[in-house]
Amino acid sequence: MRYTSPLGGVSARDGSLDRDEAAQGLSAPRAAGTSAVALTRSASKSLRWERVAHAAVGLGFGAAAIGNLIGFLPRAGELLPWFAETAWFPPYGWLLHRLLPVAPLVVVAGAAVEVAIAAMLLKRRHVALALGLATGWLLGLIPAVGWPYWTPNLLAGIGLALLWRRNCARRQMAASPHG
């Protein structure tokens, strides 16, 4: 009696050789086991790589929060006007001008967002949400930063968007009854 293995190969329950497996010199159960081990190792390496990437992004956001509190907060009154003047998307300039009286609070609020993203990624809690927030945060800051200073945010934002997409796709496959 033939069945289709979860890996997609057609094998015989009695252990007789399928045409493809006979070419490899493996019995059906052994071929399926070998493929499963290879897939598990590949998935494990992929998951390990993603966890390292998540931790690196989390550390980066944590460092950005500390850097903003140490370097930007004391000079918020002089730096926020620069952002307002160099913003190239009109609503950003208007909003930043309105926030000038509370410039230190803006910096603290930004650092709080960065700390929250860092904590979620480093604790591996709500990773998809954290990656989505990180992507939106970096890409959302672009119109408020003058040329060429926004280009690192664009590149990092694209990288985060790809990592976020990969994470969501992996989670969707894991939740799928056929995945």
Query: Measured between alpha carbons, how far is residue 30 from residues 43, 59, 60, 115 in Å?
Result: 20, 43, 45, 49
Q: Is the dihedral of CA 39, 41, 42, 46 positive or negative?
A: positive
Q: Amino acid letter at 143?
A: P
Q: What is the pLDDT of residues 151-165, one digit of tens each?
A: 888 999 999 999 888
Across 18-27, 75-84, 132-141, least confident range: 18-27
Read off the pLDDT of each residue in 79-101 and give the average, rounded to a whole number: 93
Whether 28 and 1 have beta carbons less than 8 Å apart is answered as no
Round to whole Å and give the CA distance between 33 and 39.
Answer: 10
Taking residue 25's Cβ as centre, other Cβ atoms within 10 Å add up to 9
Give 135's contacts (C-beta < 8 A, 6+ positions apart): 157, 160, 161, 164
Is the pLDDT at 5 greater than 80? The verdict is: no
Read off the pLDDT of each residue in 138-146 and give the average, rounded to a whole number: 89
- The pLDDT, as a whole number, for residue 48 is 86
Is the pLDDT at 31 greater than 60? The verdict is: no
- The pLDDT, as a whole number, for residue 67 is 96
- Predicted structure pTM score: 0.69
- The pLDDT, as a whole number, for residue 167 is 83
Q: What is the DSSP string of 31-55?
A: HHHHHHHHHHHHHHHHHHHHHHHHH
Which pLDDT band, with edges at 50, 70 and 90, does 172 fall under?
Answer: confident
Domain range list for the chain: 47-175
Is the pLDDT at 3 greater than 50? The verdict is: no
- The pLDDT, as a whole number, for residue 42 is 57
Round to whole Å and give the CA distance between 98 and 47.
Answer: 44
Tokens of 83: 């952002």
